[in-house]
């Protein structure tokens, strides 16, 4: 009787360990991502302003990738012991689809797909988490609790130029500028 109980316990432990290993393998990221970024110099796009004769700067998907990665690199640690390890963004008008690699308790690597909504709330461009999914299963936003990402655009401009408006379109983000007095 005792021998059967020991065998049953061992079988249950093996099944449980196998299930945990399978879940961990299933949730792991499909590609290696990082938070490496390059500084985006909006003021360096002055030549574009002169050529187009408009007080307007266009931010590309790569520019947004760099701006968001910079902000995330400064706030890598999330509540519930999650940590952002890397991301790749796809810009779709005023929404961002992001492939994000996070770790939980510094041991379990998870590949998630997150959707963010961008808005202009002077003087910052704000990016808020809409939803997060792991392999198609929606996660409650409370689990990740990513705070609103605020990108202060005017910090990247010369002192005599300010931001009048920010427009989101399929090609990128257009920042309409104004002269300050």
Per-residue pLDDT tens digits for 45-65? 766 776 777 788 888 888 888
Comparing CA positions, the residue from 114, 161, 118, 119 lying closest to residue 134 is 114
Nearest CA to 112 among 142, 133, 140?
A: 133
pLDDT digits (tens, 9 = 90+) for 168-181: 988 788 888 888 87
| Predicted local confidence at residue 161, as pLDDT | 81
Over the chain, what is the mean pLDDT? 84
Average pLDDT, integer, range 5-21: 87
pLDDT at 115: 93
Nearest CA-CA partner of 91 in 125, 131, 61, 127: 61
**pLDDT over threshold 80, residue 27:** no
Work out the average pLDDT over 98-110: 88
The alpha carbon of residue 112 and the mean position of all alpha carbons in its chain are separated, in whole angstroms, by: 10
């Amino acid at each position: 009787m005792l021998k059967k109980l020991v065998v049953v316990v061992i079988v249950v432990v093996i099944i449980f360990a196998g299930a945990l290993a399978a879940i961990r393998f299933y949730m792991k990221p499909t590609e290696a991502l990082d938070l490496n970024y390059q500084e985006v110099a909006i003021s360096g796009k002055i030549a574009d302003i002169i050529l187009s004769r408009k007080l307007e700067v266009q931010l590309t998907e790569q520019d947004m990738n760099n701006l968001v990665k910079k902000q995330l690199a400064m706030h890598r640690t999330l509540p519930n012991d999650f940590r952002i390890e890397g991301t790749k963004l796809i810009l779709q008008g005023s929404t961002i689809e992001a492939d994000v690699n996070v770790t939980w308790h510094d041991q379990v690597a998870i590949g998630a797909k997150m959707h963010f909504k961008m808005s202009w709330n002077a003087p910052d461009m704000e990016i808020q988490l809409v939803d997060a999914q792991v392999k198609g299963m929606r996660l409650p936003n409370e689990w990740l609790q990513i705070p609103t990402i605020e990108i202060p655009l005017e910090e990247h401009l010369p002192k005599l130029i300010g931001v009048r408006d920010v427009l989101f379109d399929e090609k990128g983000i257009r920042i309409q500028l104004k002269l300050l007095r």
